[in-house]
A and B are shown apart, each in its own frame.
Chain A
Amino acid sequence: MSEQLRVSRRVFIAFSGAAAAGGLTLALAPSRANASEAATFQQPFLRIGADGLVTVFAKHLDMGQGIWTGLTSIVAEELDADWSQMRVDGAPVDKALYKNLIFGIQTTGGSTSTANSWLQLRRAGATARAMLVQAAASKWRVPAEELQVSRGIVSHHDKRRAGFGELAAAAAALPVPTEPPLKPASAFALLGHALPRLDAAAKSHGVPMYAIDIERPGMRVALLQRPPRFGAVLASVDDRAAREVPGVVDVVQVPGGVAVIAEHTWAAIEGRRALQVTWQEDRAEKRSSAELAAEFKRLATAGDAVVCATRGDAAGAMSRAVSVVEAEFEMPYLAHAPMEPLCAVGEWLDGRCEVWAGIQNQTADQAALARILELPLERVTLHTLYAGGSFGRRATFSSDWISEFAQVLKATRGAYPVKLMWTREDDIRGGFYRPLNLHRLRAGVAADGSLLAVEHMIVAQSFLFGAPKPGVAQRPDPTVFEGHFASRYDVADASLRWVNAEVGVPVQMYRALSHNHTSFAKEVFIDELARRAGRDPLAYRLAHLSAHPRQAAVLRLAAEKAGWSTPWAEGVALGLAVQEANNGTFVAQVAQVRLEGGAVQVERVVCAIDCGIVLNPDIVRSQVEGGIAFGLGGALHGRITLDEGRVVQSNFNDFAQLRLTEMPRAIEVHFIEGGSSPTGVGEPGSVLIGAAVANAVARLTGRPVRSLPLLESGALTTR
């Protein structure tokens, strides 16, 4: 009986086998399995097989945001394909072909995937369509203008019909048109509709599809023992006990620590547990969270601040203000904690390296592997798989986790394929967090409460530039301050300063970049200003949004749909928040919060979003729903703290996440199509819920919430 299970192993080596064995028609039916078949029609962004299946090559990582479905739908639209014939696979690494047009390298982030692919993929689809049409016209000896394409069928006056598969080979031999006509938006047949996701069936049936599921012949599983404090280095290791653990095959030293290599995961876990490691901690970060908080406060006053933005004369205007309001906001380090812990599988053989992972920074990751293994770039092949979440963790500029993987491959000399696993503890304690940050906001207000001037100070580490360099002038880092107060509200005189804090904790972008903290500080602060002025928070915001009509529009819509002016029952209040997100998406959220005996329940969230053209309303909704869950979990519970440099939290027991019972009972999403092209939605839905809930709680308790996590700072609970 076990023989049957073993047989499947051989088939299961590539995902194709798994998909076939599952008996499902799966969108992830991979191109690579069919690579030996002569591709009948192949271009950088799509292939059309003789079977009529169209495979789109996605240059971006799908970490759950649905981008592989979204990118495929853009191609399908211009191609006039039938949705059922569409497939998708990760594109290989090739900066020239597949770079993110906004960043210039192959990478996924900043909710840019749809926007930067929009015209590129429409052209790709339209090009292929024109070639299929020309092929049919030549075959049937009729003018191409007389042909129609609909749902994957090319036809001529309903007399002649051909599927894409029949035409693909002939089309491939034709010259590639340079300027194929694109459809007007009014002719879209697929875009704008809730096309089903291509990955839903596979993901609902447990089909192996993630890096952690990859098996290669003879593969070993590695776990890396990293230092207990950031910045510590290996002093010595006694691996005798580890090597005695059955299943452990090797113990190797790498720059990041000590790797235990085993036949399977459990042996690696047991083997690592048996290691005796001592660390050299002279240069390690040894401060505790309370010391860092005090240091950040000191830096806000006395640090070496860089002026990032000024408008008018903030100091002068401040002196004319009737009153000055000050508030300080503190937000903790946060681990991304994607459900699939980081994992990479690969082999280094015959002067080539091949890696399977949920890869987010293809250009940098390929370069890191090439550098460490001393291979030319073209000998490093990456397979980008569906990732079990990321939230920014996989996209480090330093390629930290892929570099570690490369070091393990190097230390084991390519003797066998390796899967480098991360346990949840490795993930939570591994650093590369959303930066700890302190915002100090100071507003000068006029007699009627309106804003005259705002001074904004941020203290945070820079994941873009790293620690301050002695003798080098600090450049402003937009990933620290974008979305700050004066960039989003009318205020004639304003200044924004930033101190790049020096802490030995590695930091990393986190869903929505700086917006995950600037939105909170800004939206809680303006609510406080409104309350102090005795004005309605909605009206007060709108009075300061005359230069921001799209923010005003989403705010009005969300407030109206939420019943902002409706009186609510005892113990229930609404809180609102608005933001122009990092990528030109505008979003407003209203949280309806009930407070009963100190227990917070978010009953309902109403969201209005303007992301330009809505390509797939259901995916936008899912990203807003998921963003709210992600943001709310972080706001209620999230915090990574240090005790003498050691990370206190370790797993989901003490780094708590939002659960079903804490989820808002209902989420409504309303659209405004305020632009003529699509902008991204993976991040913007996540940035406002903390502020919206904090503002509702402040209305209920009369006390402002200025620090996160909310449950800790507000002495509240959830039921």
Chain B
Amino acid sequence: MAERQQLQINGKQVSLDAAPAMPLLWALRDLLHLRGTKYGCGIAQCRACTVHLDGEAVPSCVLPVSAVGGRQVVTIEGLGGRVAAAVQAAWVELDVPQCGYCQSGQVMGAVALLRANPAPDDAAIDSAMQPHLCRCGTYLRIRAAIHRAAATLASARPTMTKPTKPSRSNAR
């Protein structure tokens, strides 16, 4: 039976009635009308449904709404900040999307990656983005757009921070 669920979605507290087992994906899409998050497989194999859960990119299609708890959910509709802006600008500049259906998830994955690792090398990108399927085959542009966004972000904060220790992964 449906139960009252309290969620933190895109910075707002939201309450809704849903069966505890309902995946977060369907709560977002059907009950909260946030349809930027896509259904692709329902078994965490394609990551079209990626959202941020306390900043981490996770598939929402296998996460029961009752298991979300007080964690912060961010969907593509709630994406903001300089990293997201850089990623989405790079996506547009490189004309990454073809059919576009997987791209919400790809963007969510890329933003989470760059927040955790501002200068990922190819191996780091491959590792983070490998779970994301794209049937149109936009993979090379996705990798290039992540590099471009990283470069944009690096050039936008020149003297404010001094690197304390060199990152092992960004020797490019």
What is A's interface to B at a CB cutoff of 8 Å? Answer: 1-2, 4-6, 8-9, 12, 63-66, 196-197, 199-210, 212-213, 215, 221, 246-247, 264-267, 270, 337-341, 386-389, 391, 423-425, 618-619, 622, 625-630, 633, 651-653, 657-661, 663-664, 666-667
> Which listed residue (B30, B38, B75, B137) contacts A626, Cβ 8 A?
B137
Instruction: Decide: A208 and B134 in contact? CB cutoff 8 A.
Output: no
Q: Is B150 an interface residue (CB 8 A)?
A: no
| Interface residues in B10-50 (C-beta closer than 8 Å to A) | 12-16, 18-19, 22-23, 26-27, 29-43, 45-46, 48
Q: List 30 A-B contacts (CB under 8 A).
A: A1-B12, A2-B32, A4-B12, A5-B32, A64-B98, A66-B98, A196-B95, A200-B92, A206-B107, A215-B33, A246-B2, A266-B26, A339-B40, A340-B40, A340-B101, A387-B99, A388-B99, A388-B100, A388-B101, A389-B101, A391-B135, A424-B42, A424-B43, A622-B141, A652-B40, A652-B46, A659-B132, A660-B130, A660-B139, A661-B126
Residues of A within 8 A of B138 (CB): 622, 625-626, 629
B130 with A204: CB separation less than 8 A:
no
**Are B31 and A389 in contact, with the CB atoms below 8 A?**
no
CA distance A503 to B8 in the complex (A): 52
Contact A246 B1 (CB under 8 A): yes
Complex contacts, B31 vs chain A, CB 8 Å: 264
B139 to chain A: which residues have CB within 8 Å? 629, 658-660, 663
CB distance from A413 to the nearest CB of B (A): 23
**Whole-angstrom distance between the Cβ of A710 and the nearest chain B Cβ:** 17
The smallest beta-carbon distance between A247 and chain B, in angstroms, is: 8
Of the candidates A209, A339, A627, the one having the most CB atoms from chain B within 10 angstroms of its own CB is A339
Considering only CB atoms, which chain B residue lies closest to A654 in the complex? B45
Q: Quick check: A663 and B140 within 8 Å, CB to CB? A: yes
CB proximity to A under 8 Å, residues B86-145: 88, 91-92, 95-104, 107, 125-126, 129-143
For the complex formed, measure the closest distance between the CB of A594 and the CB atoms of chain B, giving whole angstroms: 16
Is B37's CB under 8 angstroms from A659's CB?
no
Task: Give the Cβ gap from B61 to chain A, nearest Cβ, in Å.
Answer: 10
Partner of A340, one of B19, B38, B143: B38
The answer to whether B30 and A338 touch across the interface, beta carbons within 8 angstroms, is: no
Q: How far, in whole Å, are A389 and B135 apart by their CA atoms in the complex?
A: 8
Complex-state Cα separation, A391 to B101, whole angstroms: 14
Interface residue from A64, A208, A618, A661 paired with B99 (Cβ < 8 Å): A64
Please tell me the number of chain B residues within 8 Å of chain A, measured between CB atoms.
67
Which of B12, B76, B143 lies in contact with A206, CB distance below 8 A?
B76
A358 — nearest CB in chain B belongs to which residue?
A: B99
- Once the chains bind, are A197 and B95 in contact (CB under 8 Å)? yes
Which of B38, B45, B79 interacts with A212 by CB under 8 Å? B38
Contacts of A12 in B (CB 8 A): 33, 35
Verify B133–A265 contact, CB threshold 8 A: no
Per the bound structure, the CA–CA distance linking A337 and B46 in Å amounts to: 12
Complex-state Cα separation, A65 to B77, whole angstroms: 25
B-side contacts of A215, CB under 8 Å: 33, 35
Whether B45 contacts A652 by the Cβ 8 Å rule is: yes
Cα–Cα, bound, A629→B142 (Å) = 13
Excluding A205-B36, A208-B36, 15 further A-B contacts by CB distance (< 8 Å) are: A4-B12, A6-B33, A199-B97, A204-B88, A204-B100, A212-B39, A266-B19, A267-B19, A387-B99, A622-B98, A629-B134, A630-B136, A659-B131, A660-B125, A660-B130
Point out the residue from A63, A204, A337 that lies within 8 Å of B107, measured CB to CB: A204
Q: Across the two chains, which residue of chain A brings its CB closest to B104?
A: A206
Instruction: Report chain B residues within 8 Å CB of A200.
Output: 91-92, 95-97
Q: Give, as a whole number of angstroms, the nearest-CB distance from A601 to chain B.
A: 12
Closest B residue to A11 by CB, please name it. Answer: B33
Whether the Cβ atoms of A206 and B37 lie closer than 8 Å is yes
B-chain residues with CB within 8 Å of residue A203 when the two chains form the complex = 97, 100, 103
CB distance from B54 to the nearest CB of A (A): 19
Q: Contact: B23 with A266, CB < 8 Å? A: yes
The CA-CA distance from A660 to B125 in the complex, in Å, is: 9
A657:B32 contact, CB within 8 angstroms:
no
Q: How far is the CA of A341 from the CA of B38 in the complex (A)?
A: 10
- In the complex, chain B residues whose CB is within 8 Å of the CB of A659: 130-133, 139
In the complex the two chains form, what is the Cα distance from A210 to B22 in whole Å? 23
Specify which chain A residues have a CB less than 8 angstroms from the CB of B9 in the assembled complex: 5
With a CB–CB cut-off of 8 A, which chain A residues contact B76?
205-206
**In the complex, A424 Cα to B45 Cα: how many Å?**
11
CB distance from B120 to the nearest CB of A (A): 13
Task: Check if A204 sits within 8 Å of B2, measured CB to CB.
Answer: no
- Judging by beta carbons under 8 Å apart, are A206 and B36 in contact? yes
Q: What residues of chain B lie closer than 8 Å to A202, measured between beta carbons?
A: 100
Known A-B contacts A200-B91, A339-B135, A424-B40; the reply to A266 vs B32 at CB < 8 A is no
Q: Return A419 CB to nearest CB of chain B, in Å.
A: 10
- Of chain A, the residue at the smallest CB distance from B92 is A200
Partner of A1, one of B14, B29, B39, B136: B14
- The answer to whether A210 touches B96, judged by C-beta atoms less than 8 angstroms apart, is no
Beta-carbon contact of A628 and B137 below 8 Å: yes
B23 touches A625 (CB 8 A): no
B45 touches A653 (CB 8 A): yes
Q: How far is the CB of B126 from chain A (nearest CB, A)?
A: 5
**A139 CB to nearest chain B CB (Å):** 38
A666 to B31, alpha carbons, bound, how many Å?
42
